[in-house]
Amino acid sequence: MLQRHLAPALQPFPPLRFPSYSHFYLDNGIEVYGIPATTFPLFSIELVFAAARRHESAPQVASFCNSLLDDGTVRYSAFDISEAVEQWGCQLSTTDGYDYSSITLNGLSQHFERVLPLLQHLVCEAVFPETELVLLQNKELQSLQIRKSDSDYIASQWLQSMVLGGSTPYGYLTRATDIKALHREQLLHFYQTHYTPARCTIFVAGAVPAYWQQLLNQTFGSDNWGKPDQPVFDEKAYPTYTKYRPQQKQKHLSASPQCSIVWGMPTIRQQHPDSNALFFANTILGGFFGSRLMTRLREQKGYTYGIYTQISYFLNAAYWSLSAETGNAVTPKALKEINVVIQRFLDKPPPKKEIEMVRNYILGNSLHWIDGVFNSLNTLRNNVLNGFEPTNELANFEYDIQTISAKRIQEVAQLYLQPQNMSQVVVGGVKDITNI
């Protein structure tokens, strides 16, 4: 008989197994990764380019170039592109980042072969109409003006600039003058020199035709797109930020009923051997809803609805950050309490029960990384672009999480989470906070 008053016994965590995938090259050298699957009649194809912030010769060029890819080609207007995508039941999106930019097409499998030429036109024949550029500039200027009154946006931007350097592609602040200075010739040159086969990687997943590899080669495998022979801005020309010093900064917003608190500092990159251990330590401190910071400042003190810490990784940098929003009246108390929680975490190894809880949380959450073909593709993409072999990286991560000890957690916390190394920013309704 089923005993409903008894909790089921804990089961061993199933090993993480990355699904098999295809890896090959098109005739022009483009690297392709694919995870074909017939579970659902859907597909996803993403073209990723080394054409992002760290490659641009002027601020905002990469972002605007990527955003305008689907706003007109030699053959199609922005309206034609939008109408075709909707007619075939697809979804088209562009994404610009710090290290890579991409264009993604999701849709019904029955239209895979039909929509590939449209995607090819976007990456090979974009024209960047002047009218669309002006519209985007006006939109971004309005958005920037609105964000300037958002305490969370101001605090996050300041912190990233303080930690990663205001003169680097990872840390420069968006300015209205940079947006206004953009012109079509800049975008066109960036597009022609960076959206090329040599800078492209393709990721495909879902129910695709049996001859999908041939289709990709026919569509994207030629050398007649882009102008890779033109001079390309060398991302190494951007100065590497090595002059970090902890800073404190505050901005008073008289109309704000609360304060945005952000702390941060540079940290180790994802390729560092301590990265998985630091990830574990960060999760205990503030990486999930049951963390120490959340328990203390939300559950016990009632200072905030939420407080979290995270590690942001880039190809050439990484930084740790803490963020919370608190009422003006309790902001000074919250700042002191954050210091107390972090110091207690450094002073004493975590108990076994807490370690087991966080270990189960991390491993359980990691199952989402390979839950279904599209999540698996996203994991594959992230590993490949960061220089990891996907199968080995997943196994290494699981091993590190399964075997970590209390002593190891305390060691990495004391090494990488020292409060005196953290920059601190407070933006909101509190007029003055001395010794943040």
Which pLDDT does position 343 carry in this prediction?
A: 97
Q: What is the pLDDT of residues 247-284, one digit of tens each?
A: 999 999 988 999 999 999 999 999 999 999 999 999 99
Question: Is the pLDDT score of 235 beyond 70?
Answer: no
Residue 67 to residue 103: CA distance in whole angstroms? 9
Is the CB of residue 271 less than 8 Å from the CB of residue 386? yes
Does 224 have pLDDT greater than 80?
A: no
Q: What is the mean pLDDT of residues 231-257?
A: 73
Q: Is 80 exceeded by the pLDDT of residue 231?
A: no
pLDDT at 11 exceeding the cut of 80? no
239 pLDDT band, cuts 50/70/90, is very low
User: pTM of the full predicted structure?
Assistant: 0.91
- pLDDT by residue (tens digit) across 32-46? 999 999 889 999 999
Q: What is the mean pLDDT of residues 100-126?
A: 94
pLDDT in tens, 289-339: 999 999 999 999 999 999 999 999 999 899 999 999 999 999 999 999 999
Look at residue 344 and tell me whether its pLDDT is greater than 50: yes
**Model pLDDT, residue 4:** 86
Nearest CA to 245 out of 260, 262, 265, 263 is that of 265
CA gap 227, 80 in Å, rounded: 26
Q: What is the pLDDT of residue 237?
A: 45
Query: Phi first, then psi: what are they for 259, rounded to 5°?
Result: -120, 145
434 pLDDT higher than 90: no
For residue 308, is it left (φ>0), alpha (ψ between -120 and 50) or beta? beta
For 112-144, give one letter per residue: b (16+ CB within 10 A) or e. Answer: beebbebbbbbbbebbbbeebbeebbeebeeee
pLDDT in tens, 62-86: 999 999 999 999 988 989 999 999 9
Distance between CA atoms of 53 and 70, rounded to whole angstroms?
A: 19
